[in-house]
Amino acid sequence: QTLAPMVSAYFKNVAQTRTLIQLSQERSKIRDVSSLEMKEKFAHYNLELEEVLIGTPRSSEGDNKIETILTQLRSRQVAMEQIETYDRQEKAAAKERELRETEARARQQQSITESELSITVQSNQGKAEYQRSLQEAAKIRTMAEAEGSKVQIMAGAEAGKIRAIAEAEAERAARVGIGQAVAIEEQVRAYGGPQFQLTQQVMNRFAEAIQQSGADVVPKVVISGKDGGGSGGGVMEALLTMLLSDKVTQSLGSHTQSPRSPEVEAMRDQIKDKTKG
């Protein structure tokens, strides 16, 4: 009479704050709380409460509402579990996909690294080839410039050499000619004038010609006229007569030389000074 109304009233109060589904879902929590609260109530009657057991609610005969609700609750619970399962499976699939991607990336990492290294090596080789090309071009350009300078210097030196040789030859020829002219002039003076010089040269040539030909200087037959003149005096007499004639003397005396250039005069003076020294 005391305990049954107290227990009934307690659970009625609990049922008023929750739905049937909440009562079913929170049965363990309600049991624990009711055990603590009802122990205090039982203590007033000197009774010791060991445990509170909450059974499955049942409807009266002909009423299937509670069973329907419990079935829905079980279905809902199954659905929630399935959702949780699917959610976990999705997460597991995502994790598995990440794992597969990580494994594939790890397998491809070596190829990627080798490709990157190959690209770097080829880039460095291209840069090295470019630098070598620039250096080779600079080397060829420098050698070409040096060869051109060498050829130009050698050509200038050769031209200078030829010019110096030509000038030296010209100066030597001029000096020889002037020396010969000075010598001839001094010989003419030594012989007493151009007439005697000419006579001496002609006589020398004539003597050399007679010596080489073996002709008689004095003819073997001489034909004389009554006045002492003759036609058998030979070539020697005729040549001497011509050389000693007044016409030759006047021709040599009247010959005038063209004026010499100052350079030739200076060279003649140098040669005369060296001869005097």
pLDDT at 49 over 60: yes
Cβ proximity of 198 and 243 under 8 Å? yes
Lowest-confidence pick of 16-20, 71-75, 194-198, 268-272: 194-198
d(CA 110, CA 198): 115
The reported pTM is: 0.30
Placement of tokens 């499976």 in the chain: 89
% of the chain at pLDDT higher than 90: 6
Chain-wide mean pLDDT for the chain? 76
% of the chain at pLDDT higher than 70: 70
Bridge partners for 224 per DSSP: 230
